[in-house]
């Protein structure tokens, strides 16, 4: 359907995913900033392995990242975000004691609305979806 719409209207889907590392502040507080840095690096490696050079990947806060995916509708964004969530869960970050730490991420997904095609609208909707994911218990992907 997205390809047909693009052919007929010239509109190409664009989606955003906002990721937030769950309880990241606790990693820094309980295990130190070096472990927090390992968590950030591990997540950045997952993002780099999963997204294309044409996708915009950026850290926008302490533990928050955004990915803008050109040519992807909301369902595609949800699928990819869930893959990222799963890949992070499989990775091992260790405390200084050697204890493995379980790192999870929540994500909010949104597709650019052709009737309101602004960056602010896209990010606002993705942020609302992220809030819903965190409120629903974290370690999940929600689309709005």
DSSP characters for 52-70? -TTSEEEE-SSSEEEEEEE
Identify the DSSP state of 47: H
- When pLDDT is averaged across residues 94-109 and rounded to a whole number, the result is 93
Query: What CATH homologous superfamily does 2-143 map to?
Result: Reverse transcriptase/Diguanylate cyclase domain (3.30.70.270)
pTM assigned to the model: 0.91
Check pLDDT > 60 for residue 4.
no
Q: For 132-137, what is the mean pLDDT?
A: 98
Q: Which residues contact 142 (CB under 8 A, 6 or more apart)?
A: 106, 107, 108, 109, 129, 130, 132, 133, 136
Q: What is the pLDDT of residues 36-74, one digit of tens each?
A: 999 999 999 999 999 999 999 999 999 999 999 999 999
Q: Work out the pLDDT band at 81, boundaries 50, 70, 90.
A: very high
Is residue 6 over pLDDT 50? no
CA atoms of 78 and 72, how far apart (whole Å) = 10
In 30-113, at which residue ranges do the beta strands (DSSP E only) sit? 56-59, 64-70, 93-94, 100-101, 105-111
Provide the percentage of residues in the chain whose pLDDT is more than 70.
Answer: 94
**What is the structure's pLDDT at 54?**
94
Active site residue 111: no
Catalytic member of 6, 30, 63, 83: 63
């Amino acid at each position: 359907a997205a390809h047909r719409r693009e052919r007929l209207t010239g509109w190409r889907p664009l989606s955003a995913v906002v990721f937030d590392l769950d309880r990241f502040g606790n990693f820094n507080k309980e295990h130190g900033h070096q472990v927090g840095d390992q968590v950030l690096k591990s997540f950045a490696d997952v993002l780099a392995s999963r997204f294309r050079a044409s996708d915009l990947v950026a850290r926008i806060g302490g533990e928050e990242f955004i990915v803008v995916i050109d040519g992807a509708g909301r369902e595609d964004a949800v699928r990819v975000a869930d893959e990222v969530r799963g890949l992070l869960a499989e990775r091992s970050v260790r405390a200084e004691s050697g204890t493995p730490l379980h790192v999870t991420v929540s994500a909010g997904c949104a597709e650019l609305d052709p009737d309101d095609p602004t960056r602010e609208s896209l990010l606002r909707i993705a942020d609302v979806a992220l809030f819903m994911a965190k409120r629903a218990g974290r370690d999940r992907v929600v689309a709005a």
